Copies of this chain bind each other. A is one copy, B any other.
């Protein structure tokens, strides 16, 4: 480890670290900041100046102050910049602007096929980001970063999709590079389930350090938060559980080329196919959800069985990862308690007591908001990280010269 890296561990090089103290929005005096950090007063002054010139912090009028003394406390200005968040699904697109604490300021969503390709879909995103900025009376200069979720595997370090099965034209496409040519901001790209996990945690489980988010829709995937951190694994494919073989899948062909994959028997299309084999008129997972809502027994049984198949894989997840919360999201989770019941039946009967003693298996609470909120948090996490702010401060000071 170089001294430069160690420095960022120590957290004492730049303005970015000082800013971490202020991210909760609570105002603090310079004296408090000096006492807490042990930094020299002169250092504190320089760093606060850098953050102030970026517009990220500012003085707060002191209620207890009497007379004409200047305000003495400094706080984060959550609305000083905005982040762009985008949830680009298989057949929908959702774009939003959020403040620096993740609060949504403006949002637009419509049906859009990801298969139209990256230039059309990202072009749509940029166009609507501009419209939302205009609505808020803001411009591209107010943007500090973008977070984007895509419905397929993404190499997180480069932001490029990797062999995404339902995204023709997107394989290895340089998403950050393309966006950056239109909007000169840092762009972070991840798969949809990872950002849903981030959103679910921010929305409902901020104190939970071990959260497993499962998405059941056209595909099946998961986002894993362990030790409070989203785990992407060595190649960014952690949580990619749709192609794990399950016992009931023997011989059933999956679109991945293997047979017996979880996705081939428990995804929305797979459940619909099983009902069609019973002579029922169902085309999609949404049709299945609709049948379940109407109390159709065949559909209820098929969904519960899919829950059991998913439970078979989740049993292994529970042994391996030992989460305290498993949240089920995605369109098939709208089939309600039936999917959940199948999952619970298997996980609780097959797991070791220590791992399930305090385990909650629940429906996603963030639900439809999980992805867009997670995309905001992804952008904020990196945009407000110490190194990013240090770079921003350095760029601002060199352009001011």
Q: Which residues of A contact B (CB under 8 A)?
A: 1, 3, 6-7, 9-13, 17-18, 20-21, 24, 32, 36-40, 43, 153, 162-163, 209-210, 222, 224, 226-227, 229, 231-241, 243-245, 247, 256, 258, 312-313, 315-317, 319-324, 350, 352-355, 357-359
B12 touches A20 (CB 8 A): no
Rounded to whole Å, the gap between the CB of A154 and the closest CB of chain B is 10
Minimum CB–CB distance from A223 to chain B (whole Å) comes to 11
Tell me how many chains of this kind the complex includes: 2
> Once the chains bind, are A354 and B163 in contact (CB under 8 Å)?
yes
Asked if A17 and B10 make an inter-chain contact with CB atoms under 8 angstroms apart, the answer reads yes
User: Once bound together, how far apart are the Cα atoms of A258 and B357, in whole Å?
Assistant: 17
Give the docked Cα–Cα distance between A12 and B47 (Å).
15
Q: Given the complex of chains A and B, what is the CA–CA distance between A320 and B225 in angstroms?
A: 12
Give A245's nearest chain B residue, CB to CB.
B350
The chain B residue with its CB closest to the CB of A238 is B322
Which of chain B's residues have a CB closer than 8 A to the CB of A358?
A: 234-235
| 20 A/B residue pairs, CB under 8 Å, sorted by A | A3-B21, A7-B37, A9-B11, A10-B21, A12-B12, A12-B36, A39-B39, A40-B40, A163-B353, A210-B233, A224-B320, A226-B233, A227-B229, A229-B229, A231-B321, A233-B355, A240-B319, A258-B350, A316-B320, A320-B321
Contact, CB under 8 Å: B39 / A38: yes
Nearest residue (CB) in B for A234 is B324
Q: Take A3-B21, A231-B226 as given contacts and tell me if A321 and B238 are in contact as well, using a CB distance cutoff of 8 Å.
A: yes
Contacts of A38 in B (CB 8 A): 12-13, 39-40, 43
Besides A233-B322, A234-B323, 7 new A-B residue pairs in contact (Cβ under 8 A), listed by A number: A3-B36, A12-B39, A163-B353, A227-B231, A236-B354, A237-B319, A240-B355
Closest CB in chain B relative to A205 CB, distance in Å? 12
Q: Are B320 and A241 touching (Cβ within 8 A)?
A: yes
Which of B9, B236, B239 is the one whose CB lies under 8 Å from A320? B239
6 closest Cβ pairs, A-B complex: A233-B322, A234-B324, A40-B40, A238-B322, A12-B38, A210-B234
Contact A321 B233 (CB under 8 A): yes
CA distance A320 to B153 in the complex (A): 13
The interface residues of chain B lying within 8 Å CB-to-CB of A231 are 226-227, 231, 321
From known contacts A11-B11, A39-B38, A39-B40, infer whether A355 and B323 are also in contact, taking CB-CB under 8 Å.
no
Within the assembled complex, what's the spacing in Å between the Cα atoms of A226 and B39?
Answer: 33
| Closest Cβ neighbor of A43 among chain B residues | B38
Give, as a whole number of angstroms, the nearest-CB distance from A217 to chain B. Answer: 18
Complex CA gap A3/B32 in Å reads 10
Which of B17, B37, B247, B357 meets A247, CB within 8 Å? B247
From known contacts A37-B10, A237-B322, infer whether A1 and B24 are also in contact, taking CB-CB under 8 Å.
yes
Question: Which residues of chain B come closer than 8 Å to A247, judged between CB atoms?
Answer: 247
Provide the bound-state CA to CA distance between A229 and B240, in Å.
21
- Which residue in chain B gives the minimum CB-CB distance to A10? B11
B-side contacts of A21, CB under 8 Å: 3, 6, 10
Nearest residue in B to A386 (C-beta to C-beta)? Answer: B10
The CB with the most chain B CB atoms within 10 A, among A37, A245, A323, A350, is that of A37
* Alpha-carbon distance A43/B38, docked complex (angstroms): 7
A263 to chain B, nearest CB (A): 11
Q: Which of A36, A224, A234 has the most CB of B within 10 A?
A: A234
- Residues in B neighbouring A43, C-beta threshold 8 A: 38, 40
Residue pair A235, B354 in contact (C-beta under 8 Å): yes
How distant is the Cα of A17 from the Cα of B12 in the complex, in angstroms?
A: 10
Instruction: State whether A322 and B354 are in contact (beta carbons under 8 Å apart), knowing that A21-B6, A36-B3 are contacts in the complex.
Output: no
Cα–Cα distance between A390 and B316 once the two chains are bound (Å): 40
With A and B bound together, what is the CA distance between A379 and B308 in angstroms?
Answer: 42
Instruction: Give the Cβ gap from A196 to chain B, nearest Cβ, in Å.
Output: 16
